[in-house]
Amino acid sequence: MIIRSNAHTHCNFCDGADSAEEMVKAALSCGFSDLGFSCHGYTPFETEYSLKDSCGEAYRAEIKRLKKLYAGRINISCGVEQDFYAPVVRRDYDYLIGSVHYLQDTNRSVYYGVDADQQTLSACIDQMFGGDALAMVEQFYCISAENALKHKPDIIGHFDLVTKFNASNLFFDQQSAAYQRIAVTALEQAAKSEAIFEINTGAVARGFTSVPYPEPFLLQSLQKMGGRVIISSDCHSVEQIDSGFEDALHLVKECGFCRISVLEDGEFREKTI
Ligand SMILES: [Zn+2]
Ligand SMILES: [Zn+2]
């Protein structure tokens, strides 16, 4: 099987490097049948990485223009990657990727991006949790499960993003029973939303992690629960559009899955692998 679509695509309407049209051209050169855009929904406290205008009108207008312009050559969908703290009008979009990027410190009115950098994660652990990294992890997964159940996204984005700056178990031990129990418990909760879990190759492509999100132990648990998965690149530039798809497919098979979801004709369809 060769994956010929991607549902998690950023462009320069949010924090992507390239224009939406450049992303479409890259998808065409990869032989894609479908391309789904998923700009970060507007977050009032942070506009560097998210949509600049609160209603996303200009973004949707441009994707609509491209959809028309490239009709018959590639199917283009207009999704959105919604953070737990980002208000989004769901009916404006073809689909929703539900992601958690921030933890909110209500005492200081500060939002810490767990995927921003090592210093931010460290400050979050110290300021919000008195240095208790596992308490931070618990809060992250608790919000992740809540996000899935409350917003009922089509896709749950990078479920264990909290591991991004934890290389060599810098802050918490990812192999420990305590960590894995927290993550699996949240996974079980989030799976009740019946959303598709994303296998996200983006951080591997950008050199941050060695395996896609989520880690194999989570994928194996999800497989046992009968959960669905989709492989996506979370690309922020034209070069990354199908990055890591082949390796991710091997991983999915190793974790026991026989089927994956793919974006095809603007819909998420189950395909045998
Ligand atoms: Zn994300
Ligand atoms: Zn993303």
pLDDT of residue 92: 95
Q: What's the per-residue H, E or C state across 81-124?
A: EEECCCCCCHHHCCEEEEECCEEEECCCCEEEECCCCHHHHHHH
Q: How far is the CA of 38 from the centre of ligand 2 (A)?
A: 7
Q: How far is the CA of 265 from the centre of ligand 1 (A)?
A: 24
Q: How far is the CA of 207 from the centre of ligand 2 (A)?
A: 15
Q: How far is the CA of 158 from the centre of ligand 2 (A)?
A: 8
pLDDT in tens, 14-27: 999 999 999 999 99
pLDDT of residue 22: 98
Ligand closest to 39 (CA) is: 2
Q: How far is the CA of 213 from the centre of ligand 1 (A)?
A: 11
- Which contacts of 138-146 are long-range, i.e. CB under 8 A and separated by 24 or more positions? 138/182, 139/103, 140/100, 140/103, 140/114, 141/182, 141/183, 141/185, 141/186, 142/186, 143/84, 143/100, 143/103, 144/84, 144/100, 144/186, 144/190, 145/186, 145/187, 145/189, 145/190, 146/84
pLDDT of residue 54: 81
Q: How far is the CA of 100 from the centre of ligand 1 (A)?
A: 7
Please, which residues have CB less than 5 A from ligand 1, an ion? 99
Q: Using omega within 30 degrees of 0 as the cis cutoff, is the peptide bond preceding 87 cis?
A: no
Buried b (16+ CB within 10 A) or exposed e, 116-126: beeebbbebbe
Q: Which residues of the chain have pLDDT under 70?
A: none
Ligand closest to 233 (CA) is: 2
Ligand closest to 158 (CA) is: 1
Q: Which domains does the chain have, with CATH numbers?
A: 5-272 (3.20.20.140)
How many residues belong to the chain?
Answer: 273
Ligand closest to 232 (CA) is: 2
pLDDT in tens, 180-192: 999 999 999 999 9
Q: How far is the CA of 144 from the centre of ligand 1 (A)?
A: 12
Q: How far is the CA of 161 from the centre of ligand 1 (A)?
A: 8
pLDDT of residue 246: 96
pLDDT of residue 231: 98
Ligand closest to 43 (CA) is: 1
Ligand closest to 37 (CA) is: 2
pLDDT of residue 130: 98
Considering only CA atoms, which of 152, 150, 172, 147 is closest in space to residue 162? 172
Q: How far is the CA of 82 from the centre of ligand 1 (A)?
A: 8
Please, which residues have CB less than 5 A from ligand 2, an ion? 81, 234
pLDDT of residue 108: 84
Q: How far is the CA of 91 from the centre of ligand 1 (A)?
A: 20
